[in-house]
């Protein structure tokens, strides 16, 4: 690991975190499926699939997959939101959100990988 490696992850992480914040802030609402969180996780999964499908260099992989997609995706937030939906008696929303997030994440990663 070099200083350049750390910088690549940090730069990608900065942009991923800012993008996640902006999308979640504007799209998540208190009731129903948190569409902002779902969107960032699907986009991040697609990006990771593309990076590994294209077999990008180490620097690009660190920047995009580890940094950008790593900070963009937030599966810990998904789990918190699933618990909140379940506890607030939105069990159907919780189930749909679970299936879309985890099934969609795998599907989007596979699509990204197959594109290249």
pLDDT in tens, 5-36: 999 999 999 999 999 999 999 999 877 899 99
Q: Is 70 annotated as a binding residue?
A: yes
Q: What share of the chain is helix, strand, coil (3-state, %, to 5)?
A: 85, 0, 15
Q: Please indicate whether residue 31 or residue 47 has the higher confidence score (pLDDT).
A: 47
Distance CA 31, CA 16 (A): 25
Question: Please, what is the average pLDDT of the chain?
Answer: 95
55: phi then psi, degrees, rounded to nearest 5: 50, 55
Distance CA 70, CA 82 (A): 20
Q: Is 10 annotated as a binding residue?
A: no
Helix or strand holding residue 13 (H, E): helix 3-27
The predicted model scores a pTM of 0.88
Distance CA 60, CA 3 (A): 15
């Amino acid at each position: 690991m070099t200083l350049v490696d750390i910088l690549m992850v940090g730069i990608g992480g900065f942009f991923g975190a800012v993008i996640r914040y902006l999308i979640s802030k504007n799209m998540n609402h208190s009731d129903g499926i948190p569409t902002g969180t779902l969107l960032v996780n699907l986009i991040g999964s697609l990006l990771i699939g593309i990076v590994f499908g294209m077999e990008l260099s180490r620097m690009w992989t660190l920047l995009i997959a580890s940094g950008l997609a790593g900070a963009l995706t937030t599966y810990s937030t998904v789990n918190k939101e699933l618990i909140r939906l379940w506890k607030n008696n939105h069990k159907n929303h919780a189930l749909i959100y679970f299936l879309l997030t985890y099934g969609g994440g795998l599907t989007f990663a596979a699509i990204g990988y197959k594109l290249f």
